[in-house]
A = this chain, B = another copy of it.
Amino acid sequence: MLYLVGLGLGNVDDITMKGMAAIQKCSRVYLESYTSIMSFGLDKKKLEEFFDKEIEEADRALIELDYNIILDEAFDSDICLLVVGDPLGATTHTGLVLAGRKAGVNVEIVHNASIINAVGCCGLQLYRFGEIISIVFWEEDWRPDSYYFKIAENRKRGLHTLCLLDIRTKEQTTEDMMRGRKEFLPPKYMTCSEAAKQLLEIVDRITKKNMKPAYTPSTECVALARIGWDNQKIIFCSLEALCDVEMGPPLHSLIIPGELHPMEMEFLKTFPTS
Chain A interface (Cβ < 8 Å from any Cβ of B):
6, 8-9, 11-18, 20-21, 85-86, 88-89, 91, 94-95, 97-98, 101-102, 109, 111-114, 116-118, 120-121, 123, 125-134, 153, 157, 159, 164, 228, 263, 266-267, 270
Contact = CB atoms under 8 A, between A and B. Distances in A.
Contact of A131 (B16, B95, B121, B127): B127
Contacts of A159: 131
A42 to B, nearest CB: 13
Task: State the number of copies, please.
Answer: 2
Contact of A86 (B13, B85, B118): B118
Given A11-B18, A117-B89, A121-B109, A130 B127 contact: no
9 contacts: A13-B21, A85-B117, A88-B126, A98-B123, A98-B263, A111-B118, A113-B117, A114-B117, A128-B131
Contacts of A134: 127
A9 B9 CA distance: 17
B131 A113 contact: no
A84 to B, nearest CB: 13
A120 B15 CA distance: 18
A126 B89 contact: yes
B13 A15 contact: no
Contact of A15 (B6, B16, B101): B16
Contacts of A98: 123, 263, 266-267, 270
Contacts of A21: 13
Nearest to A9: B111
